[in-house]
Structure 1
Amino acid sequence: MTRGTDLRRICLTLPTNRACTATIADIGEEAAYAAGRFDVEVHLLILDSSDGSTFTEHAKAVDELPAVPNVIVHHLDEGRQRDFLREVIERSGHAEPELLLDLMLPAAVSYGACTNRAFLLAAALGCESIHRRDSDSGYQTLDGKPVFPIHHELLSLGKPGADAADGVTENALDTVHGGKPVSMVGGSFVGELSVDVSEIKETDPGIYHDVVSLWAPPEWPAEEVQGLVQESFIGAGTEPFSVDRSVLDVPDIWRLDMCNIGFDRELYERVPLPPATDTIGSDYFLLHVVRHAPLPAVVHNRHIVNFYTAERRTGSGFTDYQVRFVKFLLSMLYLHPVYFDLEEAGPALLDPQHHVRAATIAGFVRRSTGADRAENIRRLDVIDRCYRQLGGKYAEFADHLMPLRQGLLDRAQVDMEHFALLIDAWRPLVAASRAIGPSIGRSTGRA
């Protein structure tokens, strides 16, 4: 594809481990929109962990994308991702290369790790920002045309807060933050709940309350927990898009979703995401950093359409997803103290150049690993009781979970220990990625 010479490079990324040829076509259209409306060179990065036959179908979908000036497509299977990571880790000089490789490309599903790989590849490609979408989501339309979130992301990301005011419909940013860069632009979703627990809600609202409240900090009063349960996982509801609304401010992260997010490189090149495996929600950490640092962000209403794929509701797919949900609840034992530390530190999280102090955050994460496990034991007890009350496949899952309890308790702690290690290793990994340069990842004849 045709390349610009002096254009700002951006990375629009789609991590996937499932069939999503329609999503590939859609995100290709978003890449074309970005290149056509903004002075950017778009690197469309598809990180593909699907099986061989599905990868082949995806490769065909990539080949069928129209050739568009200043759009370059990279479609990488896990083998090519692993080769890239091995070179990066070797260049970084880390003392535990195999552990680091496992954290970056684990055998199990990891929402944080797949995004961390995108971060490093974006660095290698020389990109100034990253824009993430998911394979189980689509775009809203207005007058028959897709409504692309990248429109708002490219209007503001990386600009000083004061300069970004012209690109939003509402500027609520305190002038004290005007010199800081806009580090994040995001929206939410419409459609089904972001976490697949709606069946529990429909079956027994009381049990739904008991289960969902497990992700609240245990010290919260009952009224705050009730508010969390009511607002959890609903996104922007069901209201269809009709007109653009965007707010510049230190963000309310409650209505943001990782299928609809853009980050400036000055954020993601300093702090990675938790690499926890089999844990939904492990990729939201940077939202809390932006909120508490505090850094400017834009929240908009070009919401993604969320939907579910059938495999997570039956058989092994149901079991696997429910384990990820349980691990999410257990991760809160460690993440909540870190979030509280971030909030308390506030402006001290930034250096004089408005860069995030990664070492400070690594210290918070490492300190959290000493948390008393009693609360997580209680969480597992509540899940066991509630799922057995639900009966059917939920009771069967409770039986499945029982022998896994100790391992899950151990794993939740180790996940945070590994996160601290990865934060410490991150800047050398980013530097090594940039040293490798943009030749990595060219694929399928689309470059």
Structure 2
Amino acid sequence: MNRICLCLPTNRACSATLTALHAEAGYAARRFGADVHLLILDSADDRTRAAHTRTVAALPPQAGVTVRHLDEEAQRDFLRRAVRRAGLPEPGRLLRLMLPSAVSYGACTNRAFLLAAALGCDSVHRRDSDSTYQTHAGQPVFPVHHELPWLGRPAAEVSAAVSRTDLDPAHTGRPVSLAGASFIGELSVDIGEMRSLDEGVYHDVVGLWAPADASAEQRRALVEESFTGAGTAPFTGDHSTLALVDPMRIDMCNIALHRDVYEVMPLPPATDTIGSDYFLTHLVHDATLPGILHNRHIENFYTPERRTDAGFLAYQTRFVKFLLSMLYFHHVYDRMATEGAGLLDDRQRVRPDRVVEFLRESTSLDRAENIWRLDRVDTAYRKLGGRYAAFADRLATQRDRLLDQAEQDIHDFAHLTEAWPTLIKAART
């Protein structure tokens, strides 16, 4: 029997999502006989968390489903014990990287990984609180349908169960390490207003996450497919492909990873940075580990908080920090792509020491490219005027700090990666 962790990290009101997620957990238990640990990592304020507690208490019991609702204090207690048991140097730093005071998409998922290891789970299936399931013929379209039972199985055994196989025969002996799809609906990054105000500015800004040496055509192609997911067409029937899954085709609100990936390598714990939770999708692809790309896309929506002035400032800061992170990650992705299957050991598991080497290399890169990015953002936002120009004024006072943070985030990621196997072992006990 597969024991899985169906996980929802949240810092916002999402009682309807919790109820829907519980239904997906029940589907996984009934259809696949899975032992499902529904893990809710709740960083919301006291009032919102209390509403979540009432929602969880009202969920009907389901055979094969265990619901675990952990507030930040419960998470912190677990982490303290795991860090202490690990006996690693700088325990305070590790605790801060796992549970920072600021928003971190990578850190919240790392906590899920560590808790999944403690619970003895074979895989983690992540969903987001600002999304919901599509329906078809009156029934919810659950992604877990394609995620189980294939994770961890040799790709050769899975080929007959998917609609299509697009995999080099040399890779069919490797385990299926990832299953995922994307989303339909609004852009995954809240910059649609920018596009409606000035499409030229939108292309200039979004294109900044391409490598600095990208051609105009490459940059234009990247902008066209960035943050759009699977478009808007609704689900009409299942289709799945066994392949080396392109990271641009999947979203972290709709993904499952096998333990042989996340128990070896964590996600970047960077704070106030969108995209920090996508690293493993690149690693799985570049290491030539097979995955399943399916079409049970989740429906994305925006919560009201993003529309407030405070929400706007916070989100634009996260977007700019994402752009700055790409100086380092493009270098690491290039090195991983070159390394290919050399990233795997003789057990077909990722070698984190190689990734740490690439991360350390990247921190010596010249910051001139990131200074250029900040200059371009400043020009673009001032052209838009209004609250964008006000944000540019604020950004001008934070340039040095943001440049330093972007580099420090990579140092922190390397540090956590080196500690990760020991932390996982400690969590298991």
TM-score, with normalisation over the residues of structure 1? 0.95
Q: Is the 8 A contact 1:156 1:167 kept in 2?
A: no
For 2:156, what is the secondary structure of its paired residue?
Answer: helix
Instruction: Give the Cα–Cα distance (whole angstroms) in 1 for the partners of residues 115 and 160 of structure 2.
Output: 31
Q: Is the 8 A contact 1:388 1:398 kept in 2?
A: yes
2:323 paired residue number: 329
Per-residue deviation, 1:165? 1.3
1:42-100 Cα shifts (integer Å, max 9, x gaps) = 00000000000100000111111110001000000000000000010111111000000
Letter in 2 for 1:336: H
Letter in 1 for 2:382: R
Per-residue deviation, 1:156? 1.6
1:56 aligns with 2:40: no
Instruction: Give the Cα–Cα distance (whole angstroms) in 1 for the partners of residues 114 and 8 of structure 2.
Output: 14
**Residues 38-437 of structure 1 correspond to what in structure 2 (within 5 A)?**
38-435=32-429
Q: Is the 8 A contact 2:344 2:350 kept in 1?
A: yes
Percent identity of equivalent pairs = 59
Instruction: Give the Cα–Cα distance (whole angstroms) in 2 for the partners of residues 123 and 230 of structure 1.
Output: 38
Instruction: Give the Cα–Cα distance (whole angstroms) in 2 for the partners of residues 397 and 85 of structure 1.
Output: 36
For 1:76, what is the secondary structure of its paired residue?
Answer: strand
Following superposition, which runs of at least 4 residues in structure 1 exceed 3 angstroms of deviation? none
Per-residue deviation, 1:167? 2.1
Per-residue deviation, 1:176? 1.2
Instruction: Give the Cα–Cα distance (whole angstroms) in 2 for the partners of residues 254 and 318 of structure 1.
Output: 25
Q: Is the 8 A contact 1:273 1:283 kept in 2?
A: yes
Per-residue deviation, 1:313? 2.3
Letter in 1 for 2:321: K
Number of aligned residue pairs: give it: 429
Instruction: Give the Cα–Cα distance (whole angstroms) in 2 for the partners of residues 197 and 156 of structure 1.
Output: 36
Is there any run of 5+ residues in structure 2 with no aligned partner, and where?
Answer: none
For 1:156, what is the secondary structure of its paired residue?
Answer: coil
1:177-224 Cα shifts (integer Å, max 9, x gaps) = 111110000000000001111111111010001100100001111111
For 2:5, what is the secondary structure of its paired residue?
Answer: strand
Instruction: Give the Cα–Cα distance (whole angstroms) in 2 for the partners of residues 29 and 338 of structure 1.
Output: 39
Letter in 2 for 1:69: A
Instruction: Give the Cα–Cα distance (whole angstroms) in 2 for the partners of residues 85 and 346 of structure 1.
Output: 33
For 1:325, what is the secondary structure of its paired residue?
Answer: helix
Letter in 2 for 1:219: D
For 1:91, what is the secondary structure of its paired residue?
Answer: helix
Instruction: Give the Cα–Cα distance (whole angstroms) in 2 for the partners of residues 8 and 254 of structure 1.
Output: 28
Q: Is the 8 A contact 1:260 1:304 kept in 2?
A: yes
For 1:155, what is the secondary structure of its paired residue?
Answer: coil
Instruction: Give the Cα–Cα distance (whole angstroms) in 2 for the partners of residues 246 and 9 of structure 1.
Output: 23
Per-residue deviation, 1:312? 1.3
For 1:50, what is the secondary structure of its paired residue?
Answer: coil
Per-residue deviation, 1:127? 0.1
Letter in 2 for 1:340: D
Per-residue deviation, 1:254? 1.1
RMSD: 0.7
Letter in 1 for 2:225: E
Is there any run of 5+ residues in structure 1 with no aligned partner, and where?
Answer: 1-6, 436-447
Instruction: Give the Cα–Cα distance (whole angstroms) in 2 for the partners of residues 65 and 183 of structure 1.
Output: 31
Q: Is the 8 A contact 1:293 1:347 kept in 2?
A: yes
Q: Is the 8 A contact 1:272 1:422 kept in 2?
A: yes
Q: Is the 8 A contact 2:33 2:64 kept in 1?
A: no
Instruction: Give the Cα–Cα distance (whole angstroms) in 2 for the partners of residues 324 and 341 of structure 1.
Output: 25
Instruction: Give the Cα–Cα distance (whole angstroms) in 2 for the partners of residues 158 and 87 of structure 1.
Output: 29
Instruction: Give the Cα–Cα distance (whole angstroms) in 2 for the partners of residues 65 and 244 of structure 1.
Output: 29
Per-residue deviation, 1:283? 0.2
Q: Is the 8 A contact 2:359 2:411 kept in 1?
A: yes
1:308-343 Cα shifts (integer Å, max 9, x gaps) = 012112211110010000000000011100000000
For 2:148, what is the secondary structure of its paired residue?
Answer: helix
Instruction: Give the Cα–Cα distance (whole angstroms) in 1 for the partners of residues 312 and 146 of structure 2.
Output: 36
Q: Is the 8 A contact 1:270 1:426 kept in 2?
A: yes
